[in-house]
Homo-oligomer: A and B are copies of this chain.
Amino acid sequence: MRPPTAQEAVLAELRRLLVTGELAPGTPVRQEAVAERLGVSRVPVREALKVLEGEGHVVYLPHRGYVVAELSVADLTEVYRLRELLEAEAVRVAVPRLDDDTVAAIELAAREVDAAGRRGDLAGMTAHNREFHFLLFDAAGLPRLSRTLRQLWDATDVYRAVYFAGPGNRARVEHDHADLVAALRARDARRAVAVQKSHRDSSVVAVTRAIEGRVSPAGSAAAGGGRRAR
């Protein structure tokens, strides 16, 4: 299972560092340090960073390098608004197309989220949670929509573990997932969209708190738009 190129290995490792928070928002990424840590030269590191820049995980400043992106509360609000629009579309399209196998797979993913939760495995929870939701989104058969949604999910991944950490939230997740599965079994798109929305709304509150608690007083610093600097 090893990647065919070093850039992909570097990319995978950098993603892991970002999700676990070992590379915290706002810190600069030293190419030499990353390269040495992974036992490669700086070239594949640079290419991996270009990918992450495109995904908005790091911001690039010419001749100054890459910095781990920070998510402002405004940014977060925007991400969730876009998710609302796009996930609703995905669910509306996906539900009528669902076959029983897919529903079963979704249900299995839900059980794995619960199992991971019971043994306190946060990484496992986020991974299976993502699987749970994207099995549904992907069922819409709209690859570009899936890809855009993945970008939006990625953007807040750093903070997602915080949500799962709260035991109250864990119960809530379990409950919401069960509701969603029931709606899918009934092929009830409208209800699925509604469940999905309330599920999302409950997490935005928790993640907002996480950001406000973590971000340094100085930094409302931008993750979003601009490539151009001057």
Contact = CB atoms under 8 A, between A and B. Distances in A.
Interface residues of A, number: 36
A128 interface: no
A143 B81 CA distance: 12
Interface in A176-230: 222, 224-226
A222 to B, nearest CB: 8
A5 B62 CA distance: 7
Given A51-B50, A54-B54, A82-B86, A144 B75 contact: yes
Contacts of A53: 51, 54
Contact of A147 (B47, B142, B144, B225): B225
A46, A47, A144, A155 interface centre (most CB from chain B within 10 Å): A144
A43 interface: yes
Contacts of A82: 86, 89, 144-145, 148
Q: How many copies does the complex hold?
A: 2
A168 interface: no
A129 interface: no
A8 interface: yes
Contacts of A148: 82, 148, 151
A89 B85 contact: yes
A29 to B, nearest CB: 15
A63 interface: yes
A126 interface: no
Nearest to A228: B8
Contacts of A224: 143-144, 147
A78 interface: yes
7 contacts: A51-B53, A53-B54, A56-B147, A75-B143, A78-B144, A82-B148, A143-B226
